[in-house]
Structure 1
Amino acid sequence: MIKCGLFVRLEAKPGMEQAVEAFLAAGLELTNQEVATPIWFALKLSPTTFGVFDAFASEEHRQAHLAGDMAKALMSRVDELLASPPSVEPVDILGMKNQPT
């Protein structure tokens, strides 16, 4: 059962929008290697604002993701890609529908 998640907001530096988009697209491969991260979305919220939403079965899995390769890769490129540090918001999952069409 999916119980908790993260919403991460990323604001690209001027001129780095394509690089942030490419980083997030490549992040799918890193996140696919995390068995405790069953749900992961990379989002484009506006031309300069991006986001990541992911969800987990437990707080332990959420913490494992925060200590994982995707988080490390992002934090290693914050100064290069982002106008400010990422906003990382833990969220509780109240309901979920996951039914591909």
Structure 2
Amino acid sequence: MSNSEYALFARLEAKTGKEDEVEEFLRSALPMAQEEEKTTTWFALKFDESTFGIYDTFPDEEGRQAHLDGKIASALEESADELLARPPQIEEVEVLEAKHP
């Protein structure tokens, strides 16, 4: 299909008073995503004042697993207790179709 058939969607719920820190964490993660050879696309999302997300795509399962074992996931795990109201909800998803530039 494409170079982004495999994907992850993570939903993050900030603790009260930690919303700005979660947003800053996500903004600061972009350079780490750019370093990942097999991360095709990476998006940091904000749904409302306390709900955030990450959506990223990969060409294969190896790329997806490398991301799950990478710097962003590690940094998120280290910060989760301090910043998040609950553990991140991470779902592996399959991209059926996509439009790329």
Coarse TM-score class (shorter-chain normalised)? over 0.9
Runs ≥4 residues deviating over 4 A: none
Unaligned runs of 5+ in 2: none
**Other-structure match for 2:66:** 64
The alignment yields a C-alpha RMSD, in angstroms, of 0.6
TM-score, scaled relative to structure 1? 0.96
**Other-structure match for 1:34:** 36
Q: Deviations over 1:3-50 (max 9, x none)?
A: 110000000000000000000000001111101102000000111000
Unaligned runs of 5+ in 1: none
Q: Percent identity?
A: 48
What amino acid does structure 1 have at the position aligned with 2:89? S
Task: Give the Cα–Cα distance (whole angstroms) in 1 for the partners of residues 62 and 32 of structure 2.
Answer: 19
**Other-structure match for 1:24:** 26
Task: Give the Cα–Cα distance (whole angstroms) in 2 for the partners of residues 56 and 32 of structure 1.
Answer: 13
- 1:45-64 pair list within 5 angstroms: 45-64=47-66
TM-score, scaled relative to structure 2? 0.96
SS at match of 1:77: helix
**Other-structure match for 1:7:** 9
- Number of residue-to-residue matches in the alignment: 99
SS at match of 1:95: coil
**Other-structure match for 1:81:** 83
SS at match of 2:86: coil
